[in-house]
Amino acid sequence: MDKTSLFTLTYGLFIAGVEENDKMNGCIINTAVQSTSDPVQMSVTMMKENLTTQLIKKKGSMTISVLSLDCPLDIIQSFGMKSGRNCSKFEGIEHKVDGNSNPYLEKNTLAYMSLNVSSVLDIGSHYLFICDVVEAEKTGKGQPMTYADYRALKSGKTVSKTNDEPSNDKTTYICTVCHYVYDGEIPFDELPDDWTCPVCNKPKSVFLAES
């Protein structure tokens, strides 16, 4: 099996947000899809280890903010790279709250959805949340940020939608567990063997090269 072939699957980029017991938290996710239209349901896959996931499971609701292509990388990275265990993720981030008091972003987004979890499937390292969509509104115009756009932006490649190959042939190293894209100064191959993913702490061996 060529695990890098899985990188050809297309995803959007979203912030899952929740407020539980006066703590607001959020994290970057890429697997949020509409699963039925009558009633409107979405399914969302999230790593069990994430604090946001645990708060969502406890509360039974969440928001999804759909990031737009103009979303600054530092917003994505502050939600994707830090743990809410050590900081307040929404501090300094302009946000509103939905009917469940869960936070969502209005700026740098195209839409938000307010979800009530109807069932939770344990699929190993992740939970799959099946949710009823109770609110859904547009927040901006433009194009969505896709997961491919995010990887391209991080590795300095041009975001262009053509049949041409990417304009820069730099190899990108991606954590297959949490999808963190390595962007350190030291070449990936030269990192020490005991180096671990700064986001999920998994070993260097779970990274795959994508060129």
In the complex, minimum distance from the CB of residue 105 to a second copy, in angstroms, rounded to a whole number: 13
**CA-based torsion, 186, 192, 195, 197: positive or negative:** positive
- Is 36 among the residues that bind a second copy (CB under 8 A)? yes
Q: Which is nearer to a second copy, 3 or 22 (CB)?
A: 3
Do residues 172 and 155 touch, judged by C-beta distance below 8 A? Answer: yes
β-pair partners for 131? 42, 117
Closest residue by Cα to residue 201 from 92, 64, 35, 50:
50
Q: Which is nearer to a second copy, 87 or 123 (CB)?
A: 123
Closest residue by Cα to residue 33 from 54, 64, 4:
64
DSSP 107: T
Positions 105 through 134 that interact with a second copy (CB under 8 A): 110-113, 119, 121, 123-126, 128, 130, 133-134
How far is residue 134's CA from residue 130's CA, in Å, rounded to a whole number? 13
Neighbours of 187 (CB within 10 A): 10
β-pair type (40-47, 61-67): unpaired
- Is 73 among the residues that bind a second copy (CB under 8 A)? no
- Is 148 among the residues that bind a second copy (CB under 8 A)? yes
- Is 167 among the residues that bind a second copy (CB under 8 A)? no
- Is 56 among the residues that bind a second copy (CB under 8 A)? no
Among 22, 74, 91, 165, binds a second copy (CB under 8 A): 165
Positions 78 through 107 that interact with a second copy (CB under 8 A): none
Q: Which residues bind a second copy (CB under 8 A)?
A: 1-6, 8-13, 31-41, 43, 45, 66, 68-70, 110-113, 119, 121, 123-126, 128, 130, 133-138, 141-144, 146-149, 159-163, 165, 176-177, 206
